[in-house]
Amino acid sequence: MSTDIRTARFQAVAWPHLATVVRAARILCGNAAEAEDLAQETMIKAYRGIDGFADGTDIKAWLLTILRRTRIDRVRATSNTAGQVSIEASGIDPPEPDKWQTDDEAWRENPQAILNSFSDQQVIDALQKLPEDIRLTLLLVDVEQLDHREAATILDVPVGTIKSRTHRGRAMLRQALLPLARDLRFIRDDPNRREG
């Protein structure tokens, strides 16, 4: 494929999703500078690999796959130099059912209104407290609303894993937002909980 044709195809197919890639990178990385680097690297890889994109398939899923691989490479590079935990090692133990159940009680009054009270940045900051694989799953399933099968293909895991990660991730996100929700008085403190 000539450079002209590749560029034209990239421009027509991938360029319209630039904002989606930037947004996804922002959600994954948490900070704007790192996200911009990740988005840039992702789009340049997409440009170089546009010949491999099959017409009729989902361009967004294709770009998010590249984004995920690029992110893994970057995290690995960082962990090699800074001793950080790799994505593969970031799996979490299943949450203790009693713990999540108790904390979820705080949200029962009007969960949608409470969650909508947080700014996007506050939600993104809370997502940074979650393991990478959970954050990626929530990005694909809830933010981008890919179906479980598409998300499973991108993350290279069984559909069942996506389902359990999604449910667990949502609970973990609420858990991560809970202290802020209490600080900002979005939800009331449970006096029994403090005494206990």
Residues lying near another protein in the complex (CB under 8 A): 3-4, 7-8, 10-11, 18-20, 22-23, 26-27, 36, 39-40, 43-44, 47, 97, 100-101, 104, 107-108, 111-113, 115-121, 123-124, 138, 141-145, 163-164, 167, 170-171, 173-174, 184
Min dist. Cβ of residue 171 to another protein (A): 8
Which CB atom, from 143 or from 157, has the smaller least distance to another protein?
Answer: 143
Q: How far is the CB of 129 from another protein (least distance, A)?
A: 14
Smallest gap from Cβ 99 to another protein, in A, equals 12
Cβ-based nearer residue to another protein, 85 or 179: 179
Burial (Cβ within 10 Å: 0-12, 13-18, ≥19) of residue 190: middle
Least separation in angstroms between CB 10 and another protein: 7
**CB of residue 154 vs another protein: minimum separation in angstroms?**
16
- Cα–Cα distance between 194 and 196 in angstroms, integer? 5
CB of 36 or CB of 76, closer to another protein: 36
- The count of other CB atoms within 10 Å of the CB of residue 60 is 17
131-145: burial string, b at 16+ Cβ within 10 Å, e else: bbbbbbbbbbbeebe
Q: Is 167 helix (H, G, I), strand (E, B) or coil?
A: helix
Q: Measured from the CB atom, is 86 or 101 closer to another protein?
A: 101
Q: What is the closest distance, in whole angstroms, from the C-beta atom of residue 79 to another protein in the complex?
A: 25
What's the count of helices (H) and strands (E) in the chain, helices before strands?
Answer: 11, 0
Nearest Cα residue to 162 out of 192, 187, 139, 129: 139
State the angle between helix axes of 18-29 and 32-48 in degrees (0 to 180), rounded to the nearest 10. 130
- Cα separation of 15 and 10, whole Å? 6
Taking the least distance from each CB to another protein, the nearer of 16 and 91 is 16
Task: Using the minimum distance from each CB to another protein, give the nearer residue, 80 or 102.
Answer: 102
